[in-house]
């Protein structure tokens, strides 16, 4: 049976549209994971990931798996039973971090904010002064709410209390500045399917020198063999020691996706995401709709808009899908049936897409 489906305009929270160059790269002939030609590709991917993460971290690589595998790798490698882990909980994906950390035996401590709000330095300082944490974990770009966590001073604060700063960059990497080195981030992960514009399947990860030292100082083996960075780094490093069969063609796609990002230029790409988001915001507000997150903390990659009173969430989204082939998403958790989530990420972040979506929404509403 062959695939038979309508193409969609992907304007949800991910995946985003894939550039034709990436699809073409992924259709290239598969070679072996220990082929010297592939080692050259691996080196290029790592160098370009460092540029996009804005870091010089030697330990930078794509984990085989989606963004959730990146989250798991970021936690399991640095948690031993009894370790204190502080998590800023203000949305769905920070709750997932709590769940994962607990499974590795961490003492999970939560800083709570309502969904859609962000954390101030004083919120974090108060918790760390009461009790230090080995890890302090935050979501930079919360996909469930559209809120952008400010980073200025956060790394210095966590380090002053003897901890490591862990950051979820799944919906920010490639679409806005992340400044891993500038902001003192020790552990960061992302996913290929959002602003990088590559199909889901890999999770870029980067670890600082401080993070590597913590990894080397573990008293026990990493509880997750597949995501053990002490093993993965031997394959992605000079030793080229076999660990698992990496998804060769996905890495071709990531290589081409990173080529596209760097050809455009990071600052130009960030500006494109911002301008298209502002066009969307202005169009929604002109229709009398309210944005969920205050402008100062809105993501350019993922917009959350409140569903107008009397409008049925699923009716509108089904009509967008059936009549216009446009995918957007609803909210979940406490935001179920209250917001729509509109993604403008990577190749999907284009002016013509904003214009088409606004016209379709006007017609339906």
Q: Mean pLDDT across the stretch 48-56?
A: 98
Q: Which H helix or E strand runs over 168?
A: strand 164-168
For residue 2, the model assigns a pLDDT of: 84
Torsion of CA 284, 138, 205, 163, to 10 degrees: 160
CA-to-CA dists, residue 95 to 40, 89, 248, angstroms: 38, 6, 32
Distance of CA 344 to the CA centre of its chain: 14
How is residue 168 written in tokens?
């979820």
Is beta strand 187-189 parallel, antiparallel or unpaired with respect to 302-306?
Answer: unpaired
Q: Assign 349 to helix, strand or coil.
A: coil
Average model confidence (pLDDT) across the chain: 97
Q: pLDDT tier at 91 (50, 70, 90 boundaries)? A: very high
Phi/psi at 89 (5° precision) = -105, 110
- Residue 341, strand partner residues: 304, 329
- 5 pLDDT more than 90: no
* Among candidate residues 313, 326, 320, the one with its CA nearest the CA of residue 364: 320
CA angle (148 as vertex; 65, 146 as ends), nearest 5: 75
How is residue 36 written in tokens?
């010297």
* Among candidate residues 188, 93, 183, 94, the one with its CA nearest the CA of residue 85: 94
Q: How many CB atoms are located within 10 Å of the residue 162 CB? A: 10
DSSP letters, 102-126, are: HHTT-EEEEEE--TT----HHHHHH
**Calpha distance 361→202 (Å, rounded):** 33
CA-to-CA dists, residue 142 to 39, 77, 118, 200, angstroms: 34, 23, 10, 18
Fold of 9-14+266-364: 3.90.1150
**Calpha distance 325→327 (Å, rounded):** 7
- 1 pLDDT more than 80: no
- 208 pLDDT more than 90: yes
For residue 3, the model assigns a pLDDT of: 86
- Residue 165, strand partner residues: 136
**Calpha distance 215→136 (Å, rounded):** 16
Q: pLDDT tier at 125 (50, 70, 90 boundaries)? A: very high
- 6 pLDDT more than 90: no
Q: pLDDT tier at 4 (50, 70, 90 boundaries)? A: confident
> 20-262: which CATH number, 3.30.70.940, 3.40.640.10, 3.90.1150.10, 3.40.1190.20?
3.40.640.10
**Domain locations along the chain:** 9-14+266-364, 20-262
Q: Mean pLDDT across the stretch 56-78?
A: 98
Contact between 268 and 54 under an 8 Å Cβ cutoff? The reply is: no
Q: pLDDT tier at 161 (50, 70, 90 boundaries)? A: very high
């Amino acid at each position: 049976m062959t695939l038979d489906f309508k193409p969609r305009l992907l304007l949800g929270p991910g995946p985003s549209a894939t550039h034709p160059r990436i699809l073409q790269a992924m259709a290239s002939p598969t070679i072996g994971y220990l082929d010297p030609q592939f080692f050259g590709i691996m080196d290029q991917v790592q160098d370009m990931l460092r540029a996009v993460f804005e870091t010089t971290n030697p330990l930078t690589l794509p984990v085989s798996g989606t963004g959730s595998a990146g989250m798991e790798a970021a936690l399991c490698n640095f948690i031993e039973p009894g370790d204190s882990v502080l998590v800023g909980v203000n949305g769905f994906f920070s709750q997932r971090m709590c769940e994962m950390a607990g499974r590795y035996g961490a003492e999970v401590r939560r800083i709570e904010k309502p969904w859609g709000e962000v954390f101030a330095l004083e919120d974090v300082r108060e918790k760390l002064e009461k009790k230090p944490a080995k890890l302090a974990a935050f979501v930079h770009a919360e996909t469930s709410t559209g809120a952008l966590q400010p980073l200025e001073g956060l790394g210095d604060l966590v380090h002053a209390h003897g901890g490591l700063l862990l950051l979820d960059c799944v919906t920010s990497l490639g679409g806005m500045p992340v400044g891993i080195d500038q902001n003192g981030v020790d552990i960061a992960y992302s996913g290929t399917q959002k602003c990088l514009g590559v199909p889901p399947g890999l999770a870029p990860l980067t670890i600082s020198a401080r993070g590597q030292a913590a990894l080397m100082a573990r008293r026990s083996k990493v509880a997750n063999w597949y995501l053990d960075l002490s093993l993965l780094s031997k394959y992605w490093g000079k030793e080229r020691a076999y660990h698992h069969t990496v998804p060769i063609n996905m890495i071709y796609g990531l290589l081409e996706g990173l080529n596209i990002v760097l050809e455009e230029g990071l600052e130009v790409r960030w500006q494109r995401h911002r301008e298209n988001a502002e066009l969307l915001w202005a169009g929604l507000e002109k229709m009398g709709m309210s944005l969920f997150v205050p402008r100062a903390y809105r993501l350019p990659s993922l917009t959350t808009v409140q569903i107008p009173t009397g409008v049925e969430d699923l009716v509108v989204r089904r009509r967008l899908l059936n009549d216009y082939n446009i995918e957007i998403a609803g909210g979940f958790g406490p935001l179920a049936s209250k917001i729509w989530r509109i993604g403008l990420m990577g190749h999907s972040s284009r002016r013509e897409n904003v214009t088409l979506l606004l016209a379709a929404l006007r017609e339906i509403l």
